[in-house]
Amino acid sequence: MKGHWLWLAGLSVLWLAGVAKLATADADPCTPPKQGVPGGEAVLSAEALAARIDAILDARLAAEKVKPAPLADDAEFMRRVYLDLAGKIPLASEVHDFLQNPAPDKRARLVWSADPQEKTLLDSASYVNHFTNVWRALLLPPSNNQQVQVSLGDFEIWLRKRIGSNQPYDQLVLELLTTPLGSATPQMRNQPMDPEKAKPVAFYQANELKPENLAAATSRLFLGVKLECAQCHNHPHAQWTRNQFWEFAAFFSGIEARGPGGPAAGAYEAADRRSLKIPGTDKMVVARFLDGKEPQWRPEVRTRATLAQWITAENNQYFARAAVNRLWAHFFGVGLVDPVDDLNDQNPPSHPELLDELARQFTLNHYDLKYLIRALTGSKAYQRSSAASDPSQKDPRLFARMAVKGLSPEQLFDSLIQATGYMEDKTPTNPRLNPVMTAPRAQFLARFASQEKRTEYHTSILQALALMNGKFIADATSVEHSMTLLAIAEYSYKRGTPERIEELFLSTLTRMPTPEESESLVRYVESGGPRHEQKAALADVFWALLNSAEFFLNH
């Protein structure tokens, strides 16, 4: 038995080596919005914006004498766009259909189609699920506080509904920042959740209802400004002063906790306050926008609403840029300004003209997230191969080839479920605390959730070993528990071993095996492997594919 496991480890190592072309790229710093957007006000279609993206990037590549990578083949593109939009790999049957589709525009129509009868990723429940996960991870800092966990169900329902309806991004942010807190006690546990009553109160509770935390989170998330560096002293590199930080925090000065439970208890707005005292001083400051302008206070508009209207205003140079830069980083692995939460004059964008154009078109198209996604995924830049084909492609911020990204824990788990057909044990859980998790999922996510940044996931040796030796992966790759493996094993009665190897590849790596891979693995399976049993040998191949770098990286 020991020899068998050593052999399997060797097979996995060889497989990892076979995909060594997948190299992650180090991100360089980059920065914020510039005043004075160049160009006219023509409203571009998603296709025209995709062409504009490529024109700007190609001009820079030519100037730098960088040779771009060729376009990814259909299989590589399909796997990438499924992971980015649906949060999991496609089914083998979907891969078959896509690869056999002769339509020249099939890539664009995989993402979106004007024909309501066509099944597309942007219209799928998987897109809504995945982007709910993506935005929830961005909007809520990790918290173990029970009150936050109770409110998490409401937050998820609120967010899911808005992602599902493609609510304009500015309206989503406006609603988040102005949600009423007077009756913010979460819906009672064990009662059916009313989607119409769900509120994003968890955003406030996760930030402990503190004005300084809410101010820092709001500026970072929606303006791309790390304002917290100025909380105790003037920012050492950017323009922000300590006074500005607390003036911005004053917009949240009326929020307080209600009842027992500390700062993350029920939230309410005690009064429509506009000032607060800077801690450790006797100085009072009045709420003021980050551009230095005093708000035009109106009796019928509350303090937080005044701030939200300024943040989401069309002439706010930071808002649209922060949004498009964050979405760019999601799809390309590195932002035009990177880190994405640090837009400042010392951290300029890699392509200022492109950032301006994306922000302008996002605004002119009414902050339509699906429009922006269609443009990004429709560009040649997004569809380039991740394999390095020329030494000139080393700088990731030139976007000469696609960056390689580690899968998030959710992407990895959902892709494993998709690939294996694993049937989870649906043990009852409290839907208020975790509306979508079952026991296996919760355990898996807990193991891989310890990342420095929620928006960045790094594949590690520890992660690989956990997958290689874990009970979940062992069950999922056994003929008895894996619906995929069982179906492919029984497939031998109709066709031969080469076809079964192809199905394993399509189910896991979303591609056909190379002739060399097929020849080697067919020989291994037909010999029965160390146990001289073909089904066991087929399970060995399945296990090795699922534990390969090619499976748990998005490339």
pLDDT (tens, 9 = 90+) of the chain, 555 residues, equals: 434 433 444 444 334 334 333 333 333 323 333 333 444 579 999 999 999 999 999 999 999 999 999 999 999 999 999 999 999 999 999 999 999 999 999 999 999 999 999 999 999 999 999 999 999 999 997 777 777 777 888 999 999 999 999 999 999 999 999 999 864 344 444 454 567 788 999 999 999 999 999 999 999 999 999 887 767 766 666 678 888 989 999 999 988 876 655 544 566 676 788 999 998 899 999 999 999 899 999 988 999 999 999 999 999 989 999 999 999 999 999 999 999 998 888 899 999 999 999 999 999 999 999 999 999 999 999 999 999 999 999 999 999 999 999 888 889 889 999 998 877 655 544 444 444 444 577 767 776 764 444 334 455 555 666 666 677 777 777 777 778 888 888 865 567 899 999 999 999 999 999 999 999 999 999 999 999 999 999 999 999 999 898 998 999
Q: Give the C-alpha separation, 376 to 382, whole Å.
A: 7
The pTM for the full model equals 0.87
Residues 470, 552 contacting (CB under 8 angstroms): no
DSSP 8-state code for residue 312: T
Look at residue 238 in the predicted model and tell me its pLDDT: 61
Max Cα distance, the chain (Å): 83
Cβ burial of 65 (10 Å; 0-12, 13-18, 19+) is: exposed
Picking from 361, 218, 229, the residue whose alpha carbon sits closest to that of residue 289 is 218
The closest alpha carbon to 378, from 101, 112, 167, 117, belongs to: 112
User: What does the DSSP assignment read for 541-554?
Assistant: HHHHHHTSTTTSEE
User: Cα separation of 373 and 328, whole Å?
Assistant: 9
pLDDT of residue 23: 36
Tokens of 345: 């004059």
Exposure string for 406-426, b = 16+ CB within 10 A, e = fewer: bbbbbbbbbbbbbbbbbeeee
Radius of gyration over every alpha carbon of the chain, rounded to an integer in angstroms: 25
How many other C-beta atoms can be found within 10 angstroms of the C-beta atom of residue 123?
Answer: 15
Q: Which two tokens stand for residue 79?
A: 């796997």
Q: Classify burial at 126, counting beta carbons within 10 Å of its beta carbon; exposed 0-12, middle 13-18, buried 19 or more.
A: middle
The pLDDT, as a whole number, for residue 406 is 87
Residue 119 CB-half CA count within 13 A: 7
Say what the pLDDT of residue 18 is.
41
**What is the rounded CA–CA span in Å between residue 537 and residue 535?**
5
DSSP H or E segment with residue 425:
none
